[in-house]
Structure 1
Amino acid sequence: MVREAGVGEWVGPREMWEAQKKEVRACKSRQRVSQRETLMEKMEQKGCMIMTQQVSSSPFLKAFYLKMPLSVSSPLRQRRHTLPASEFRNLTPQDAISVFEIEREAFISVSGECPLRLDEVLNFIGQCPELSMGWFEEGQLVGFIIGSGWDKEKLAQEALTRHMPNTPTVHIHVLSVHRHCRQQGKGSILLWRYLQYLRCLPGVRRTLLVCEKFLVPFYEKAGFKDKGPSAITVGALRFREMEYTLAGLAYARRKSNC
């Protein structure tokens, strides 16, 4: 008789032999189960591939592919970027350089004059950012409008550099589109979005701007009315004054506190 280590009882050689045989059988059983599971996984993978090939060759069925679990990172599931494809928002001082570069390229090549210098761009964006709008595609500025408040019936020379807060009139200083995005209707879309945005601002009733004569048809198509020659001059350039009335159903609702 021998004593098994760690157990407080005596066992004989026959009992030890039987215990060892049971342990060997249990070990072999676990190995067979593991091999069977591995074989089943391989068969399932092969079956999925065969089914996909069969379905792909069928003229009546559309091929399908097993989707990877959400926890598995797949290059096909990763987003190319996190920026919105197209966004309209108010401008910030960080946008000033891009604004000025687009403006300078657009106006210097046509009229030789920039409506706003860089310091004036920063000034208006800083004083009245809510009266500006930028169109961004994948984070890049493709067009913009800068406006300011005005408190008189018609625009005067000082309107080029002044902002009057809490007034019913918005003076549009500049509308410009990046050179790679012109002749695509983006200027009209941007102007329409801006005017609809102004309708939502409390107290704003109209917008004014000045433009050269060849641009009058563009603004008339957008709903502006030609008010005649403007008192504003820039060098030898002369302008027409255009007006757009925002008062309507939206303004009536604001006045009635609805």
Structure 2
Amino acid sequence: MSRHPTGSSPFLETPVQAVGPLRKRRHTLPASEFRNLTPQDAVSVFEIEREAFISVSGECPLTLEEVLHFTGRCPELSLGWFEEGQLVAFVIGSGWDRERLSQEALTLHVADSPTVHIHVLSVHRRCRQQGKGSILLWRYLQYLRRIPGLRRALLVCEDFLVPFYLRAGFKEKGPSAVSVPNLRFREMEYLLGGQAYARRNSGC
């Protein structure tokens, strides 16, 4: 559930000037990189998610085991934003094959399905209020458009996040059947064949 509150190697070898008889080389990291997540990223993902959600709602959308499950089963439906090798924001999705999301969708991945269920979008606490949530969501939706067979994305969110997703081009489908103790959600839909939304700095 997306209740976001407020493959290539990342290493590049760059030669440096020789010193004495030895030619030294150093490793540098790209300033900014977007890539699919892997199970090796799961701990970093969960640390960001736990800090973002536990203090707000007392619940994490995904447990560490579920993060490992989805990044292992469907890494192509995730996207991480890394700055100098450190994860600063991420989104995790899985496949779904029904018109609306149900409680099953929280833990299930349906392969080769036309719908992506966006489970969670989260930004590291040091990077919030910089527009990173909006930018990452924009890049993720554009990325999904390039995957053959995908037609739409679904998510559930709390009422206060509905305006954020409306600005991103989602449409509200009404109250969600998905529930968590003490929390109720609205279901949102994004048609991947529609017009791309303009990237905005929403402060997320």
Instruction: Give the TM-score band, short-chain normalised.
Output: 0.7 to 0.9
Letter in 2 for 1:213: D
**Deviation digits for residues 162-221 of structure 1 (CA, Å, limit 9, x no counterpart):** 000001100000000000000000000000000000000000000000000000000001
- TM score, norm. by length of structure 1: 0.66
Distance 1:180 1:127 in 2: 30
Number of equivalent positions? 178
Name the SS of the counterpart of 1:218 in structure 2.
helix
**Deviation digits for residues 6-46 of structure 1 (CA, Å, limit 9, x no counterpart):** xxxxxxxxxxxxxxxxxxxxxxxxxxxxxxxxxxxxxxxxx
* Mapped contact 2:81–2:136 kept (Cα < 8 A): yes
* Mapped contact 2:16–2:25 kept (Cα < 8 A): no
* Match of residue 29 from structure 2: 83
Query: 4+ residue runs of structure 1 moved beyond 4 angstroms?
Result: 78-81
The partner residue of 2:164 within 181, 199, 218 is 218
Matched, 1:242 2:188: yes
Distance 2:43 2:98 in 1: 31
Name the SS of the counterpart of 2:121 in structure 1.
strand
* Match of residue 134 from structure 2: 188
User: How much has 1:81 moved relative to structure 2?
Assistant: 5.0
Distance 1:211 1:85, change over 3 A: same
User: How much has 1:82 moved relative to structure 2?
Assistant: 1.3
Distance 1:71 1:114, change over 3 A: closer
Distance 1:81 1:160, change over 3 A: same
Letter in 2 for 1:189: I
Q: Which runs of 5 or more structure 1 residues have no equivalent in the other structure?
A: 1-69, 251-258
Letter in 1 for 2:189: E
**Deviation digits for residues 63-82 of structure 1 (CA, Å, limit 9, x no counterpart):** xxxxxxx99537xxx99851
Higher strand residue share: 2
**Deviation digits for residues 221-247 of structure 1 (CA, Å, limit 9, x no counterpart):** 100011110000011100000000001
Higher helix residue share: 1
Distance 2:96 2:116 in 1: 6
Name the SS of the counterpart of 1:130 in structure 2.
helix
The partner residue of 1:106 within 49, 52, 65 is 52
- TM score, norm. by length of structure 2: 0.83
* Match of residue 92 from structure 1: 38
Distance 1:73 1:171, change over 3 A: same
Matched, 1:73 2:1: no
* Match of residue 127 from structure 1: 73
**Deviation digits for residues 70-97 of structure 1 (CA, Å, limit 9, x no counterpart):** 99537xxx99851110000000111000
The partner residue of 2:89 within 143, 151, 175 is 143
Matched, 1:161 2:123: no
Matched, 1:197 2:143: yes
Distance 1:229 1:71 in 2: 58
* Match of residue 176 from structure 1: 122
Pick 1 or 2: higher relative contact order, CA cutoff 8 A, min separation 6: 2
Name the SS of the counterpart of 1:133 in structure 2.
strand
Letter in 1 for 2:69: N
* Mapped contact 2:117–2:155 kept (Cα < 8 A): yes
| Larger radius of gyration between Structure 1 and Structure 2 | 1
Distance 1:248 1:214, change over 3 A: closer
Distance 1:129 1:80 in 2: 30
Letter in 1 for 2:94: S
* Match of residue 256 from structure 1: none
